[in-house]
Chains A and B, each alone.
Chain A
């Protein structure tokens, strides 16, 4: 009720309204605000570099760590900087199978990012569709959907993933499946909440009086306005998916050992820490930390920028 008495538009400087200059679109404004934070900018750059490095790993990596024929068990556990039997330098040392840690990290990032991003996207797709339908349909459909979401959310992600993986077995596809099943509910809840809030706004009512089709209202009006909260949740869930994959690999239900993800590298090298062979676990750990942190920092800034209260 107090809404009517706040007049935010009065804050606009007059020159905006006088006509000529092309105002930046909301997208441009977003990026301008985003880059205002040097930390977030740096994180974004780091993230881009990491993604590029992962994508082009076969070109960058001195070794294909997944190709058993180029690995030699005699090269196992070499410290950083030492030379392999074929004369290649182990920049960050080698692991128990004689795998170059640096190459393994690059390839591992691929797996980790693949798992994180695809489970994030799939989870988002599934959650968004279900959440939107719930919000728009209302009534019994909504009640049933939200009950399921509640149930899912009342159960910690890690347990769901753990049980699921011990059931379906190993593999990237399986782990993505497990993560999607464990995470879609977060998206569904968020998108429903956002959509409900948007739906109450009068522009949706206006679209309904204009008799636009349901699909159009949902996907062209409501969904784009839910994007801010989705982006935020998306980044956070991606980060947590990567972390979760690592954890699951650590618990032994993650990925096959010959194609290690970062989590598996860490977990494989974990015990060697005791004997001072820190590099096998530490470097992948740092790589994992950097990825998750960069995503979180980017997500954090996105949240700050998109939150109208946070804007100057």
Chain B
């Protein structure tokens, strides 16, 4: 195995992140459970984080990592609030899927 080829470059990481991101997007589109949709969003955020770190390394700039830190905080805050909202609505109608929440339309 040729070492020159063997070392994954930033591009690899970025592509991996892109695929992960796309899977997350697809997940949001196809899943009906709001919780799982939200998990998919977490996937997307992780893809972004991965990109940031890879880019930070490529650029030799720590700023990308700092950003990841903030993203994590945001993700945490989002999870708290998001789950709060979901709990408050799913408590009343536990079987509800995202498709059932369609009172508002048109």
Instruction: Indicate whether A and B interact.
Output: no
